[in-house]
Structure 1
């Protein structure tokens, strides 16, 4: 039986979403989990649709400012990778209750299509409007650097699971 963990995504100090995932691996620096699409409805971004039945393999790092999520449809066909710019993940194992991965969303995202030909920087306008550059300039610098690194990794075929 696979160990379960709660994934808790926060934004501006509030819980944005919480869902249960199965732990695939945890080497102390990176934790990888799998979970079905947690929303009951389709979310159409224009370049990809997340829908019930989709399965995510999610990679979180305790020392990196991003998370990488491989997205497959219910039949197993690869849709692509959705990358979130976040503060480094915290894995908490309270004495009572479920263990959890807590990540703080910093607005910036990157989408990479299944064949790697489409690499889209997302939500840069939201990031600019968030006020993070004024309230926490170091976090804002780390976030922009993380998005740049994700784009470089995607274009070089070095994201987890991306064909090189």
Structure 2
């Protein structure tokens, strides 16, 4: 039952991330017409989106696999870093910044990011409940025999650059 809750909780994350990937795809398509000189950034963003989507699909197959969750967190972190750079560059294009579709997609992406964070918290709570139950008596006697192993927590989906203290040039 608790293992099923982990799967259900991950399914919520998966659903939110699918929505996020669709929004990012649409952002890239809108920006493509405005940011003709930023082709490399748009390609990096599209590639990072695809890599994150693949990592999420892999993790969805076994949401208690620590290796898959770590790969997903790294892919999502890379995507977040490139997405941040994309928005910084987009700020230099006034027509793009004023585009109604771009503003709407940006707002939807912000909402989706919040929903991903809430879904991640619910997933981690399910994992903690599962791990606590597997370590309690009498379950601890049978857990390993029945193939139940400690489930991994999902680490924050942040870019490596966001985890470091920013350096402000003088």
TM-score by length of 1: 0.29
Q: Which has the higher strand share?
A: 1
Q: Which has the higher helix share?
A: 2
Query: Between Structure 1 and Structure 2, whose CA radius of gyration is higher?
Result: 2
Structure with higher RCO (Cα < 8 A, 6+ apart): 2
